[in-house]
């Protein structure tokens, strides 16, 4: 079977990495297309996943620019796939893939775990053959974006628990970043400033950088999404912040950290799955997955930077993993 996977953002690399291994172990041929955005291409290279960059890079925050870039990328994806005779197309929140696949008569699965990115999900859900989501998202929210119950397949838990199955952190990432192991290690993820669903500014995040960046007992590794974010944070010259030059082994970093503060979603849930205390500074509408984690006390909301507990993580922190074969089989029900 010929399987087409489209990867358009950094978290999609770790999501698909174990699934590609499973597909190839089952004798299937996997082709990966990718978009140049954030550290996606660097992470694909680091993971050893062969890929082809298709279409223009991310268009930034402009709605008009996004529409133009999407149109250009759709045409490029169609040209790429037309002669390759794919049997199925798989994506996680790459709404362009099911649109291109549908136009070519290729069955597709579209996965996501944040239901309020309605602009892109409305396109992806309507075009896809199958929609794969966490079981905690209410069907009423999916109905609003065109994911009717007949095409929806659900999985228990967090998507992060599936791709972290068998994961062992590599402490070499600490040496590569020159982390002082005598200090509390914090990992900080920047807000998704270029996302349509996160347009308003996040002043709390700036306060977090000030709080951690001036604490001599902390080493805080800040993981920016864009070169612009990287340069802005470096220009602040806060003494306790480390800002890597490129993509790093973030999973190992989160697993080894004492705490995580993230304005996004995936890294929050990776921390939950790895047993690392985590605070969210997300200011958009919280999705069902994170609502459940907050209710269970596994994800902490942060109202002000002074609320961060800067302390060592308990050494026996619990971890949660699940069999990635279950997730793959749900995606393949598009056939």
Question: What are the residue ranges of helices labelled H in 144-261?
Answer: 159-163, 172-176, 203-213, 227-236, 250-256
CA distance 145 to 136: 16
Instruction: Domains for the chain: give ranges and CATH numbers.
Output: 2-164+323-334 (3.40.50.2000), 172-307 (3.40.50.2000)
Whole-number Å distance between alpha carbons of 17 and 324: 10
> What is the pLDDT at residue 283?
79
Partners of residue 188 on adjacent β-strands? 222, 261
- Tokens representing residue 11 in the block: 């978290």
The mean pLDDT value of the chain amounts to 92
- Give tens-digit pLDDT for 191-244: 876 444 444 456 888 899 999 999 999 999 999 988 888 999 999 999 999 999
Structural contact between residues 117 and 31, judged by C-beta atoms closer than 8 angstroms: no
CA distances from 276 to 152, 190, 206, 319, 330 (A): 31, 18, 22, 9, 29
* Residue of 90, 91, 141 whose CA lies nearest to 114: 141
Tell me the C-alpha distance between 88 and 30, whole Å.
10
For every residue of 220-253, DSSP letters joined together read EEEE-SSHHHHHHHHHH--TTEE--SS---HHHH
pLDDT value, residue 62: 56
Interhelix angle 118-127/96-103, nearest 10 degrees: 30
Q: pLDDT for 33-82, tens place per residue?
A: 999 987 899 999 999 999 999 987 765 555 666 677 778 999 999 999 99
| Tokens at 334, concatenated | 């598009």
pTM, two decimals, is: 0.90
Q: Name the band, by pLDDT with cuts 50, 70 and 90, for residue 145.
A: very high
Task: List the structure tokens of 116.
Answer: 């309020």
Question: Which residues have C-beta within 8 Å of that of residue 52, sequence separation ≥ 6?
Answer: 31, 32, 33, 34, 80
Q: Flag whether pLDDT at 325 surpasses 90.
A: yes
| Residues 160, 267: Cα–Cα separation, whole Å | 9
Angle at 266 between CA 263 and CA 268, to 5 degrees: 60
Q: Can you give the pLDDT at residue 60?
A: 56
Helix (H) or strand (E) holding 73: helix 63-82
Interatomic CA distance for residues 57 and 193, integer angstroms: 16
Per-residue model confidence (pLDDT) at position 201: 59
Structure confidence at residue 199 (pLDDT) = 42
Query: What is d(CA 299, CA 279) in angstroms, rounded to the nearest whole number?
Result: 6
pLDDT > 90 fraction of the chain, expressed in percent and rounded: 79
Q: 120 vs 59, which has greater pLDDT?
A: 120
Q: Quick one: DSSP state of residue 133?
A: E
Residue spans of beta strands (DSSP E) within the chain: 2-7, 29-34, 52-53, 88-92, 108-111, 130-134, 152-155, 184-189, 218-223, 241-242, 259-262, 278-280, 300-301
**Sheet containing 88-92: which strands, arranged edge to edge?**
52-53, 29-34, 2-7, 88-92, 108-111, 130-134, 152-155
What are 168-198's pLDDT values in tens digits? 999 999 999 999 999 999 999 988 764 444 4
Measured CA to CA, the distance from residue 54 to residue 152 in angstroms comes to 28
Pull the structure tokens for residue 124.
């992806």
Q: What is the CA radius of gyration of the chain?
A: 19
Which pLDDT does position 192 carry in this prediction? 74
Residue 196: per-residue pLDDT: 41
The tens digit of pLDDT for each residue in 232-288 reads 999 999 999 999 998 899 999 999 999 999 987 899 999 999 999 999 988 788 999
């Amino acid at each position: 079977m010929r399987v087409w996977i489209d990867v358009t953002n950094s978290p999609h690399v770790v999501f698909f990495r174990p699934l590609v291994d499973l597909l190839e172990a089952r004798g299937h041929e996997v082709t990966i297309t990718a978009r140049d955005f954030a550290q996606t291409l660097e992470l694909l290279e680091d993971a050893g996943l062969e890929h082809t960059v298709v279409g223009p890079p991310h268009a930034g925050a402009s709605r008009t620019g996004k529409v133009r870039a999407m149109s250009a990328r759709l045409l490029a994806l169609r040209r790429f796939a037309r002669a390759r005779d794919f049997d199925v197309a798989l994506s996680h929140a790459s709404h362009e893939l099911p649109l291109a696949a549908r136009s070519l008569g290729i069955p597709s699965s579209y996965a996501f775990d944040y239901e309020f990115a309605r602009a892109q999900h409305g396109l992806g859900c309507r075009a896809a053959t199958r929609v794969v989501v966490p079981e905690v998202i209410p069907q009423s929210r999916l109905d609003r974006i065109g994911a009717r119950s007949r095409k929806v397949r659900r999985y228990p838990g967090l998507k992060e628990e599936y791709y972290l199955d068998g994961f062992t952190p590599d402490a070499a990432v600490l040496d590569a970043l020159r982390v002082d192991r005598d200090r509390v290690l914090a990992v900080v993820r920047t807000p998704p400033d270029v996302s349509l669903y996160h347009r308003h500014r996040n002043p709390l995040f700036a306060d977090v950088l000030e709080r951690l960046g001036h604490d001599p007992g902390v080493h805080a590794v800040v993981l920016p999404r864009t070169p612009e974010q990287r340069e802005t944070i470096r220009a602040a010259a806060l003494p306790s912040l480390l800002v890597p030059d490129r993509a790093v082994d973030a999973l190992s970093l989160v697993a080894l950290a004492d705490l995580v503060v993230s304005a996004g979603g995936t890294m929050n849930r990776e921390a939950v799955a790895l047993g690392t205390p985590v605070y969210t500074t997300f200011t958009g509408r919280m999705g069902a997955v994170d609502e459940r984690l907050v209710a269970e006390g596994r994800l902490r909301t942060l109202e002000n930077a002074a609320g961060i507990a800067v302390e060592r993580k308990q050494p026996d922190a619990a971890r949660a993993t699940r069999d990635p074969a279950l997730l793959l089989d749900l995606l393949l029900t598009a056939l």
